[in-house]
Homo-oligomer: A and B are copies of this chain.
Amino acid sequence: MHETKIRVQYYETDRMGVVHHSNYIRYFETGRTEFIRSRGISYADIEAGGVLMPIISAECRYFHPACYDELLTIRTKISEEITARICFAYEIYNESAQLVCTGSTALAFVDAATRRPVRPPEAVARLLRGTANGAIAYLSTKQAPANS
């Protein structure tokens, strides 16, 4: 499972003294972004390739509040087979290894020009699945025949 660390910022806390619940949805995005990068492509590159990945659903369960200046660990994985959509699951832990929250998001693949659903480019799907080996595979599948 992929791990990213983030530091809780002051502006993310609220007057209850803890992180405002909406910010965990943003932490999930950071976890997802770094997960994707770890697979050999950045989300910025996917967009540059003409594919957007808008969120179609998100949920979060809150177990323990995170506090200012804590160094949190976001654990991210793909939770379902990638089809016309991709599902991520998240767990966030604090420095004492307490479970702060869990969550999941489903994202669609959408053509940047038409905003209509598309299949993910096969090279991108392979990278995300972890069955291709980073940037080299990305290039080689581009040149590969249609049976890829």
> Hey, which bits of chain A sit against chain B, CB under 8 A?
9-11, 13-18, 20-23, 25-26, 29-30, 33, 42-44, 52, 54-62, 65, 68-69
Q: How many copies does the complex hold?
A: 4
State how many angstroms separate the Cβ of A11 from the closest Cβ of chain B: 5
Q: What's the dominant secondary structure at chain A's contact region?
A: mixed
- Whether A14 and B22, one on each chain, are in contact in the complex, defined by CB atoms closer than 8 angstroms, is no
A-B contact pairs, 5 of them (CB 8 A): A9-B30, A13-B14, A14-B15, A18-B54, A57-B60
Interface centre among A25, A56, A69 (most CB of B within 10 A): A25
Considering the complex, give the chain B residue whose CB is closest to the CB of A22.
Answer: B25
- Expressed in whole angstroms, the Cα–Cα distance for A61 and B58 within the complex equals 7
